Chains A and B, each alone.
Chain A
Amino acid sequence: MRYALRLVVSRLGLAVITLLAVSLVIFWTVELLPGDPATRILGQDATPERVKVLREELNLDEPALERYTDWLGGMIRGDWGDSIVAERPVTDYVLPRLENTLILAAYALALYIPLSLTLGIVTAVFRESRFTVWLSAAVLVGTAVPEFVVGILLLLTFAVTLPWFPPLADIDQAQSLPDLLHMLFLPAVTLTLAMTAYAVRMMQSSLVSVLESDYVRMATLKGLSRRRVILRHALPNALGPALRVTVLNIAWLIGGVVLVEVIFTFPGIGQLLIDSIRNLDTPVIEAIALIFAAVYILANLGADLVAAGLNPRLRARAR
């Protein structure tokens, strides 16, 4: 048990250090945006008096390092400052949007996991059949087509030409869960397809190499059923790489959702990020960037821990 604990603690420490580094980068990047923030916000025609007042409000006269520590301390305490545009606390503004995005992401993941697992197994197990060759080709095309193209095509086909789904994924209008699932189907499928293509390729290649291993041949020659050979002997040893891709996909989901949210006019965090950049609403931009980074780092942490759990060597030592 001590070994597992040490692993968790060391990885957690590493995650915190990474997050600190990222926060520095975010802060200094925003700092480096050209021009004085107050002038940027008020526009070129602003009177010097108004600029002076705003500078004081934003504490711009203090040294940058001090402002960084203030900002970081606030982030940790849960006081993320006020949005310059909406003049409301950033938390009030960002968190409901984050919740929406998480719902969409969870929906996409719920479609993605069974789909990529099934396709990965089918393309690996029946790799000699002609059908699989076509399927693999389709997956390859899927990897190459960016998600905004897929999203627009789906929108045109299933919302405009065939009005099966609403073109606007306005989550706040959803009355019930089936209603919600119906409304979010097209954006969720767009995200799912973007993630599945790569995951299927990883799943297929790792499963093919496992299927050609000596232990899978041995299991076959012991007279076990094909089903047992694939599910008990091959699959557990092929999941590692696919799992890693899945975690990276989760990380991508939170950020990659931006384009899809714009296409389907979805009130999520990606859409908010775009709006905030347009309005130069720096506290909101910083908060969202930090959330993206945190999700990415946490997802990787999760990948390490799950990989450790899958490895019997580590599991045994933790026993």
Chain B
Amino acid sequence: MSSPAESVVEVDELTVDFWERDHWVNVVNKVSFSIEPGETLGLVGESGCGKSTTAFSLFGYRRPGSRVRSGAIRFDGRDLLRLKERELRSIRGARICLVPQNPAGSLTPSMRVGTQLVETLKAHRASTWRKAEKRAVELFAQVGLPEPGEIAERYPYELSGGQQQRVVMAMALACSPSLLVLDEPTTALDVTTQARILKLLFRLQGEHGMSMLYVTHNLGVVAQICDRVAVMYAGELVEIAPTVELFENPRHPYTRGLIAAVPRISAPTGGDATLRGLLRREELPDGCRFAPRCAYAQTDCFTNPQSLAPVAKDHRVACWLWKSIPGARRVAAEEPAQATPVPR
């Protein structure tokens, strides 16, 4: 691992709870990772595992009805979780930017898309409205929108899904951020558009030299674009490793399950166990949260909390049994499928 001083952002023991009817439910538990300059880190896990909540925390943002119980997010020498609204505003949209999961729903329906980009520029760069409008058209051209001047005049519903995605990408890139947070940016798109958007993303990352956090449940995409991968389960980080290492030598039983599940769809751990567990946090054991679904679980697993421990260089796993579990190589033999070939 590189020294923390060099990292673009450093998440330290982030713990987030949601308020559910009458009590706090833990959603993210002591998650720590860092992102290096120019690096793309993948954050993967099932729906509801807390990966999006973690990603939004990078903006110092908390959803209404949630609280950050503890932890720190260091960016530019400051803790984003303790910044004032005004200071956060100067970072959001300028230094750290979002490419959202659902571009159609992320564009304000009552406002022309050009205006939505111009206001971002105006918020961060002191300039005239006219200059910002000119810059907006340039940015639309940069993300490959045809007739950018005409597109700027349109309302979101007048654009296709791929065009909407390019519009939100132009917004994210408007101020040349040092960190781009991508929240499953291609889920809403068809495979061809997805491939085109990913290709555009590589190009822009090359041009802007920014770091990226790529949140997804699509391991195929992860294999294509990420330098490192962090795997989350039930609010905890269970494994983090360089992409090749993770796919070839997954150590956590959950990671193995995920990778093995890609080509065959059905989960190796079987049956309802794959669907259960996440929604009912009350049922999680005090120890390893994966234990109830783990084929290798022992009595101690249910009582001893696990934390990330090094396995190899840059490879850490939160499972004390990682050495004794057989068959890692067998799983690794299966290539992640669904990968749309994308020229780099």
- Which residues of A pack against B, CB within 8 Å? 127-128, 211-226, 228, 232-233, 236-237, 310, 312-313, 316
Contacts and interface: CB of A to CB of B under 8 A. Distances in A.
B45 interface: no
Contacts of A225: 89, 123
Contacts of A312: 109-110, 155, 157
Given A218-B107, A228-B119, A312-B109, A223 B92 contact: yes
B90 interface: yes
B67 to A, nearest CB: 11
Interface stretch (B36-44, B98-106, B224-232, B254-262): B98-106
Contacts of A313: 155, 157
B247 interface: no
Contacts, number: 84
A130 to B, nearest CB: 15
B94 A223 contact: yes
Given A214-B100, A220-B92, A223-B93, A237 B108 contact: yes
Contact of B93 (A127, A222, A310, A316): A222
B213 interface: no
A224 B155 CA distance: 20
B123 A223 contact: yes
Given A223-B124, A224-B123, 6 more contacts: A216-B108, A220-B61, A222-B93, A222-B171, A223-B92, A316-B155
Given A220-B61, A221-B93, A222-B120, A215 B158 contact: no
Contact of B106 (A212, A218, A224, A236): A218
Contacts of A218: 98, 100, 106-108, 168
A35 to B, nearest CB: 58
Contacts of B120: 222-224
Nearest to B101: A214
Q: Enumerate the 4 nearest inter-chain pairs by beta-carbon distance, A residue then B residue, closest first.
A: A223-B93, A222-B93, A223-B92, A214-B105
Contacts of B102: 214
Secondary structure at the A interface, as helix, strand, loop or mixed, is: helix
Chain B CB count within 10 A is highest, among A218, A224, A237, for A218
Contacts of B61: 217, 220-221
A215 B157 contact: no
Contacts of A223: 88-94, 120, 123-124
Nearest to B175: A223
B150 interface: no
Contacts of A219: 108
B105 A213 contact: yes
Interface in B252-306: none
Interface string B50-62: 0000001001010
B64 interface: yes
Nearest to A310: B110
Nearest to B119: A224
A250 to B, nearest CB: 24
Q: Chain A CB within 10 Å — which of B90, B98, B110 has the most?
A: B110
A215 B123 CA distance: 17
A215 B106 contact: yes
B311 interface: no
A224 B123 CA distance: 6
Contacts of B88: 223
Nearest to B122: A224
B158 A316 contact: yes
A223 B97 CA distance: 9
Contacts of B155: 312-313, 316
B110 A237 contact: yes
Contact of B92 (A214, A221, A233, A316): A221
B328 to A, nearest CB: 39
